[in-house]
Each structure stands twice: as C-alpha cells, then as structure tokens.
Amino acid sequence: MMPDNAVFYHAAYAAALVVYGGYVVSLVVRSRRTRARERRQVQRGLAREINGKL
C-alpha cells in the first residue's frame, strides 16, 4: 500500500516557490533601488551643469 505523505511534497514545493520567488522579488526591488540611484545621479549632474552656467 502506498504511504500517505503528500503533505511533505506539498510543503517542499511551497518552500521552493517561496525561496525562488523571493529571490526574483529581491532582484526586482534591488533593480528599482538602483534605478532610483541612477536618476538621482543624473539630477545631480544636471544641477552641477546649471550651477556651472550660472
């Protein structure tokens, strides 16, 4: 008779989903933060240019 242990494989698949999904989300969040830093850098560069002209 086949043992009833489906709960273990459900938990394992859920855990894998959380770990891999969490990592994808962390990459997206870090990418957005980097984009914000890039924008701030562009703004700082523009401000320096304007200050230089004035």
Partner 1 sequence: MTTPATTDDRRRIDWLLTIAVVAVAATFIRAIFFTPAEARQGLAQKIFYVHAPSAFIGLYVAFGIVAIAGALYLWLRDERLDRVAASAAEVGVIYMTVVLITGPMWGKPIWGTWWTWDARLTLTLFLWFVFLGYLILRGAIEDHDTRARYSAVLGVLGALLVPFIHLSVYLFRTLHPMPIVLKPGHPSLPNSMLATFAMSFVSFTLLFVALLRARYRLAERVDALVAEEELEPSPMPNLRAEPIR
> Which residues of this chain interact with partner 1, rule CB under 8 A?
2-6, 8-9, 11-13, 15-17, 19-20, 23-24, 27, 30-31, 34-35, 37-39, 41-42, 44-45, 47-48, 51, 54
Distance CA 32, CA 47 (A): 23
Residue 46 Cβ, how far from partner 1 at the closest point, in Å? 9
Residue 7 tokens, joined: 């709960």
Residue 40 tokens, joined: 């701030």
Q: List, in sequence order, every beta strand (DSSP E) within 5-48.
A: none
Residue 28 Cβ, how far from partner 1 at the closest point, in Å? 9
